[in-house]
Amino acid sequence: MADRAELLEATLDGLPEGVALLGEDCRLAFWNQAAQAITGYAALEMVGRPTPESLRPLLEWCVVHGNGEAGANHGVGSETGRGFLVRARHKLGHEVATMVRLRVLRDALGMRIGTAVLFHPAECLDALPHGVTGEDDEVEASQTDLTERLGSMFDDYTHGGSSFGVLWITVDQAHDLRRTHGVGACDAMFLKVERALAQGLRPGEHLGRWGEDEFLVISHERTTAMLAVHAQMLAGLARTADFRWWGDRVSLTVSIGAAQAESAYSLIDLLERAKAAMFSSFHLGGNHITAAPEGHSCSPS
Q: Are 227 and 258 in contact (CB under 8 A)?
A: yes
> 93: Cβ–Cβ under 8 A, 6 or more apart, which residues?
54
pLDDT-derived band at 296 (thresholds 50, 70, 90) equals low
The 10 Å Cβ neighbour count of residue 301 is 3
What is the pTM assigned to this prediction?
A: 0.60
When computed from its CA atoms, the radius of gyration of the chain, rounded to whole angstroms, is 23
- What would the pLDDT profile of 208-240 be if each residue is shown by its tens digit? 999 888 999 999 998 999 999 999 999 999 988
Q: Are 169 and 256 in contact (CB under 8 A)?
A: yes
- What would the pLDDT profile of 103-137 be if each residue is shown by its tens digit? 888 888 888 888 888 888 775 555 677 776 655 77
Burial class of residue 199 (count of CB atoms within 10 Å of its CB; 0-12, 13-18, 19+) = exposed
The predicted pLDDT at position 66 comes to 52
Percent of the chain with pLDDT over 90: 34
| Amino acid letter, residue 198 | A
Q: How far is CA 56 from the centre of its chain?
A: 27
> How do beta strands 248-250 and 112-121 pair?
unpaired
The predicted pLDDT at position 299 comes to 46
Total residues found in the chain within this entry: 301
Mean pLDDT (whole number) for 178-191? 86
Percent of the chain with pLDDT over 70: 86
Inform me whether the pLDDT recorded for 74 exceeds 50: no
The predicted pLDDT at position 139 comes to 86
The predicted pLDDT at position 62 comes to 62
Strands of 289-291's sheet in order across: 206-211, 214-219, 165-171, 254-260, 289-291
pLDDT-derived band at 75 (thresholds 50, 70, 90) equals very low
- In order of their start, the domains of the chain are 4-122 (3.30.450.20), 128-291 (3.30.70.270)
Range with top average pLDDT, 39-48, 67-76, 229-238: 229-238
Position with higher pLDDT, 126 vs 85: 85
